Protein backbone atom coordinates (compact mmCIF):
# COMPACT_ATOMS: atom_id res chain seq x y z
CA UNK A 1 0.00 0.00 0.00
CA UNK A 2 2.57 2.50 -1.01
CA UNK A 3 0.59 5.43 -2.37
CA UNK A 4 2.52 8.25 -3.86
CA UNK A 5 1.34 11.74 -3.13
CA UNK A 6 1.13 14.35 -5.77
CA UNK A 7 1.38 17.95 -4.76
CA UNK A 8 0.46 20.80 -6.97
CA UNK A 9 2.47 23.99 -6.65
CA UNK A 10 0.73 26.79 -4.77
CA UNK A 11 1.54 30.44 -4.45
CA UNK A 12 3.30 31.34 -1.21
CA UNK A 13 0.67 33.99 -0.51
CA UNK A 14 -2.08 31.33 -0.68
CA UNK A 15 -0.18 28.97 1.64
CA UNK A 16 0.46 31.77 4.15
CA UNK A 17 -3.19 32.88 4.04
CA UNK A 18 -4.39 29.30 4.59
CA UNK A 19 -1.95 28.97 7.49
CA UNK A 20 -2.88 32.30 9.11
CA UNK A 21 -6.63 31.59 8.75
CA UNK A 22 -6.44 28.77 11.29
CA UNK A 23 -8.61 29.71 14.28
CA UNK A 24 -6.05 29.47 17.12
CA UNK A 25 -3.52 31.38 15.05
CA UNK A 26 -6.03 34.12 14.19
CA UNK A 27 -6.78 34.68 17.88
CA UNK A 28 -3.08 34.86 18.76
CA UNK A 29 -2.31 37.25 15.91
CA UNK A 30 -5.26 39.44 16.86
CA UNK A 31 -4.11 39.55 20.50
CA UNK A 32 -0.59 40.47 19.41
CA UNK A 33 -1.86 43.24 17.11
CA UNK A 34 -4.13 44.68 19.81
CA UNK A 35 -1.32 44.62 22.36
CA UNK A 36 1.03 46.34 19.92
CA UNK A 37 -1.59 49.01 19.09
CA UNK A 38 -2.39 49.51 22.80
CA UNK A 39 1.22 50.29 23.66
CA UNK A 40 1.62 52.41 20.53
CA UNK A 41 -1.49 54.53 21.17
CA UNK A 42 -1.43 54.75 24.98
CA UNK A 43 2.23 55.71 25.33
CA UNK A 44 4.97 54.77 27.77
CA UNK A 45 3.28 55.86 30.99
CA UNK A 46 0.10 53.83 30.56
CA UNK A 47 2.05 50.93 29.06
CA UNK A 48 4.18 50.80 32.20
CA UNK A 49 1.02 50.16 34.28
CA UNK A 50 -0.43 47.60 31.85
CA UNK A 51 0.07 44.02 33.03
CA UNK A 52 -1.88 42.01 30.46
CA UNK A 53 -4.12 42.38 27.43
CA UNK A 54 -6.47 39.64 26.17
CA UNK A 55 -9.46 39.56 23.87
CA UNK A 56 -12.36 37.16 24.20
CA UNK A 57 -15.10 37.56 21.64
CA UNK A 58 -15.52 41.32 21.32
CA UNK A 59 -14.50 42.08 24.90
CA UNK A 60 -11.00 43.36 25.59
CA UNK A 61 -9.64 42.57 29.05
CA UNK A 62 -6.86 44.85 30.23
CA UNK A 63 -5.17 44.39 33.58
CA UNK A 64 -3.92 47.68 34.99
CA UNK A 65 -1.74 47.98 38.14
CA UNK A 66 -3.13 51.35 39.28
CA UNK A 67 -6.75 51.71 40.44
CA UNK A 68 -6.64 55.46 39.76
CA UNK A 69 -5.50 54.89 36.19
CA UNK A 70 -8.21 52.23 35.71
CA UNK A 71 -10.87 54.80 36.60
CA UNK A 72 -9.41 57.39 34.24
CA UNK A 73 -9.27 54.85 31.41
CA UNK A 74 -12.90 53.83 32.03
CA UNK A 75 -13.95 57.42 31.30
CA UNK A 76 -12.22 57.23 27.91
CA UNK A 77 -13.36 53.68 27.06
CA UNK A 78 -15.40 54.65 23.98
CA UNK A 79 -12.56 56.71 22.53
CA UNK A 80 -10.06 53.87 23.17
CA UNK A 81 -12.41 51.37 21.49
CA UNK A 82 -12.73 53.66 18.46
CA UNK A 83 -8.95 54.10 18.21
CA UNK A 84 -8.19 50.37 18.46
CA UNK A 85 -10.96 49.36 16.02
CA UNK A 86 -9.70 51.96 13.54
CA UNK A 87 -6.15 50.56 13.83
CA UNK A 88 -7.49 47.00 13.37
CA UNK A 89 -9.56 48.16 10.36
CA UNK A 90 -12.60 46.31 11.69
CA UNK A 91 -15.03 46.41 14.61
CA UNK A 92 -13.30 43.80 16.78
CA UNK A 93 -13.92 45.42 20.17
CA UNK A 94 -17.28 46.37 21.70
CA UNK A 95 -16.28 46.65 25.35
CA UNK A 96 -13.16 47.07 27.43
CA UNK A 97 -12.97 45.58 30.89
CA UNK A 98 -10.25 47.12 33.03
CA UNK A 99 -9.32 44.90 35.96
Per domain, the residue ranges of the chain are 12-98
Mapped onto helix, strand or coil, the DSSP state of residue 84 is helix
Q: Is beta strand 59-64 parallel, antiparallel or unpaired with respect to 95-98? A: parallel
pLDDT for position 2:
55
Is the pLDDT higher at 29 or at 60? 60
Alpha carbon distance 27, 60 (integer Å): 12
Q: Is 44 exposed, middle or buried (0-12, 13-18, 19+ CB in 10 A)?
A: exposed
What are the pLDDT digits (tens) for 29-48?
A: 889 999 999 999 999 999 99
Please check whether residue 62 is in contact with residue 52, taking contact to mean a CB–CB distance below 8 angstroms.
yes
Which CATH number does 12-98 carry? Answer: 3.30.300
Is the pLDDT higher at 3 or at 69? 69
The confidence band for 10, taking pLDDT boundaries of 50, 70 and 90, is confident
Mapped onto helix, strand or coil, the DSSP state of residue 67 is helix
Residue 12 CA to its chain's centroid (Å) = 25
What DSSP element (H or E) covers 68?
helix 67-75
User: Rounded to two decimals, what is the model's pTM?
Assistant: 0.75
Amino acid sequence: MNKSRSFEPKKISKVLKDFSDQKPLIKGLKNAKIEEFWHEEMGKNISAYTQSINISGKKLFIKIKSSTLKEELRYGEKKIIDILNKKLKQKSIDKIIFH
